[in-house]
Amino acid sequence: MSNWIDIAALGDIPQRGARMVKTALGCVAVFRTGDDQVFALDNACPHKAGPLAEGIVHGTSVTCPLHNWVISLETGQAQGNDEGQVATYAARVEEGRVLLDRAFLRARVAA
């Protein structure tokens, strides 16, 4: 069995946008940047659990829709003076498909 789960076509996520993936342990936001990189993060802001998938994506960051914290898509770390971190999961694009590392399901069970 492959270690990567095929989630969807890259085109299903808008550029500079995100879509949500449901898992048994809550939602994961899968982001696509302006230059077609993808990132997967827990869909809950470290501040007050704002749904990050609904934020504005710029560069490799997302701005939370509730109170404008800026979160790095690469590290999950809050930027600037804010402190906090969201869990990130391995994701990549191959031949136009978005893939998530199967290990992320395990990581979520452990979390």
Partner 1 sequence: MTTRLVVIGAGMATGRVLEHLFESEAGYDVTLFNAEPRGNYNRIMLSPVLAGDKSYADIVTHDADWYEVNGVTCRFGERIAQIDRVAKTVTAANGDVVPYDKLLFGTGSNPFMIPLPGHDLEGVIAYRDLEDTERMMALGASNKVVVIGGGLLGLEAAAGMAARGVDVTVVHIMAHLMERQLDEAAGYLLRKALVDKGITVKCSANSKEILGENGHVRALLLDDGTELPCDLLVMAVGIRPNTALAQEAGLAVGKGIHVDDQMVTSDADILAVGECVEHDGAIFGLVAPLYDQAKVAAQTLTGAEAAFVQKELSTKLKVTGCDLFSAGDFMDGPGREDIVFRDPGRGVYRRLVIADNVVVGAVMYGDTADSNWFFGLIRDKTDIAGMRDTLIFGPAYQGGTPLDPLAGVAALPRDAEICGCNGICKGQIEDAIAAGATDLGAVRATTKASGSCGTCTGLVEQVLAVTLGDDFVLPAAQSICACTDMTHEDVRRMIKSQRLTSMPAVWQECGWKTSCGCHVCRPALNFYLLADWPLEYRDDPQSRFINERKHANIQKDGTFSVVPRMWGGITTPNELRAIADAADKYMVPTVKVTGGQRIDLLGVRSEDLPDIWADLNAAGMVSGHAYSKGLRTVKTCVGTDHCRFGTQDSTGLGIKLEKQLWGAWTPHKLKLGVSGCPRNCAEATCKDIGVICVDSGYQVSIGGAAGMDVKETELLVQVTTEREAVDVIKAVTQLYRENAKYLDRIYKWMGKVGLDWISERIVDDLDSRMALVDRFEVSQSIYRKDPWAEHASTRAETYRPLANLSLEAAE
Choose between 55 and 98: whose C-beta lies nearer to ligand FES.
Answer: 55
From ligand FES, partner 1, none, which one binds at residue 69 (CB under 5 to 8 Å depending on kind)?
A: ligand FES
Residue 44: how many CB atoms within 10 A of its CB? Answer: 19
Spatial separation of the C-alpha atoms in residues 95 and 98, rounded to whole Å: 9
Secondary structure element (H or E) that encloses residue 23, with its range: strand 17-23
45 contacts ligand FES (rule: CB under 6 A)? yes
Give yes or no for residue 2 binding partner 1 (CB under 8 A). no
Cα distances (Å, whole numbers) of residue 29 to 1, 81, 104? 24, 23, 13
Site string for partner 1, 9-38 (x = CB under 8 A): ---xxxxxx-xxxxxx--x--x---xxxxx
Give the residues lining the site for ligand FES (CB under 6 A): 45, 47-50, 64, 66-69
